[in-house]
Chain A
Amino acid sequence: MLGSTAVSEPAPASIPETPPLVVQGLCCVRGDRELFAELDLAIAPGEVLQIEGDNGTGKTTLLRAVCGLAPIEEGRVLWHGLDVMEAADEFLGALTYIGHTAGVKRDLTPIENLDTAIALTRAAPAVDPESALARLGLLALEHTPLRQLSAGQGRRVALARLLVIPTTLWVLDEPFTALDATGKSLVETMITEHCANGGLVLVSTHQPLALDGVRVHHLRLGA
């Protein structure tokens, strides 16, 4: 399923159809340094691709390039067979990206942050923001500005977007930053459920993932 740089678990005997997300010959540079080149990868529904690598090997750049935020030097990213630049509408409608910076406003409350995130999408919310926040353990804090919450709680508000906004592809850059052990296992449960529903997850983390019954591929950058 994966390119030459990837170490994958035993591949399935036959690949039924083209995976929704395919990256072909991707090359990204930062400054005049080549981070990676000729990178191929593909993710099928219900699969997780975990990106590992030392600091500075381009994990974040890879995720941002897939989302269309970082410039691509060579190669292309395909969503259901179409270049994401051409099919930007469908691709962005199916994508939730949680980056290095959480993408939440510290002067707004968790509910206000989620309401803005919902308004920015086209889809109707999958669950209401209150129950998503409750699941992430922010039940009594939904009207407290993030400024008064901890970094981990702010991270949980960002992760609540995954529950509220129904998308197929999750791109998560170090999602466990600032999270405690229960937070980490909660995110793992969310990823497992998402994959059981046919979702795709692209995640960069150094920590081993405890995902029950989910096919996890590993891609090591800079190796």
Chain B
Amino acid sequence: MGRAFLAILVRDLRLAVRRRGELTQPLVFFAAVATLFPLALGPERELLARIAPGILWVAALLAALLPMDRMFRSDYEDGTLEQLLLSPHPASVLALAKVIAHWLVTGLPVIVLAPLIALVLHLPANALGVLLATLALGTPVLSLIGAIGVALTVGLRAGGPLLALLLLPLYVPVLIFAAGAVDRAASDMPVVGPLYVLGAMLILALTLAPAAIAAALRISLS
């Protein structure tokens, strides 16, 4: 089972490297959305510092949503998804490998770029650590929940817009707790509470989402 998990993870990372053009899309989108705000609101330092946590998280959420649609699309089209479901290994484990690969390619780069964008938005320096912590806990949750929606809509021709409508409400709790934590850190308030909630969400998503993804894929392929 470990070998199959690793094989899918490596395969998806290798495919991502071979399609480098798609790699940069979420990054550019994240940077573009976040920098629209100073352009629209003016470079006033206090105002930007005040709303930076929200902007950063909304931008990260949209950047996570943008490439979500592609998670199972090509596997569905070329028939390799059928082969995954016909493997004697549990489909949930193989699906988890795909989600992790997808997060490494789309979520992790956003975390790496976040400090730079935080600087542009004058996010107080004492909130930077918490911002990275919320992104590290929160973006995998977005990928895991998103994968369930993608698995359900992969067989539909116009799945993209439907997917956004389906996922945005589900992303709200993550957004509230994550942006809230960064906001609290910026005003020197304790942040342990929301971070624990985010951690709990991640563990819950890691445990329950793979089985839901596998079930949704079976429905989409039938």
Measured CB to CB, the residues of A under 8 A from B are 67-71, 88-89, 92-93, 95, 97, 99-108, 112, 115-117, 119-122, 145
Q: A104-B78, A108-B15 are in contact. List 7 more A-B contacts (CB 8 A).
A: A69-B85, A97-B86, A102-B79, A105-B15, A107-B18, A119-B7, A120-B84
- How far is it, in angstroms, between the C-alpha of A107 and the C-alpha of B21 when the chains are bound? 14
Residues of B within 8 A of A (CB): 3-4, 6-8, 11, 14-15, 18-19, 74, 77-80, 82-89, 94, 221-222
Docked Cα-Cα span, A65 to B202, in Å, equals 36
Residue of B nearest to A68 (CB): B86
Nearest A residue to B16, CB-CB: A107
Q: How many residue pairs bridge A and B at CB < 8 Å?
A: 74
- In the complex, which residues of chain B have a beta carbon less than 8 angstroms from the beta carbon of A101? 77-79, 82
Which chain B residues lie closer than 8 Å to A97 at the CB level? 82-83, 86
> How far is it, in angstroms, between the C-alpha of A162 and the C-alpha of B85 when the chains are bound?
17
Tell me which of B15, B19, B82, B89 contacts A69 (CB under 8 A).
B82
Beyond A69-B222, A116-B8, A120-B7, is A103–B79 a contact (Cβ under 8 Å)? yes
Interchain nearest-CB distance for A158 vs B (Å): 8
Contacts known (A69-B221, A108-B15); A120 close to B78, Cβ less than 8 A: no
Task: List chain B residues, Cβ under 8 A from A92.
Answer: 86-88
CB distance from A122 to the nearest CB of B (A): 5
Minimal beta-carbon separation of A53 from chain B (angstroms): 21
Contact: A106 with B78, CB < 8 Å?
yes
B88–A122 CB distance below 8 A? yes
- The residue of chain B having its C-beta at the shortest distance from the C-beta of A95 within the complex is B86
A88 to B90, CA, bound (A): 10
Q: Distance in Å from the Cβ of A211 to the closest Cβ of chain B?
A: 25
How many angstroms from the CA of A97 to the CA of B82 in the assembled complex? 9
A and B contact pairs by CB, cutoff 8 A, 26 listed: A69-B82, A69-B85, A69-B86, A69-B221, A69-B222, A70-B222, A71-B222, A93-B88, A95-B86, A97-B86, A99-B82, A101-B78, A101-B79, A101-B82, A104-B78, A104-B79, A105-B11, A105-B80, A108-B11, A108-B14, A115-B7, A117-B83, A119-B3, A119-B7, A119-B8, A120-B94
Cα–Cα distance between A104 and B221 once the two chains are bound (Å) = 17
Nearest chain B residue, comparing its CB with the CB of A71: B222
The winner among B14, B18, B78, B88 for most chain A CB atoms within 10 A is: B88
Best-surrounded residue of B83, B94, B221, B222 (most CB of chain A within 10 A): B83
- Report whether A67 and B78 are in contact in the complex, using a CB–CB cutoff of 8 Å: no
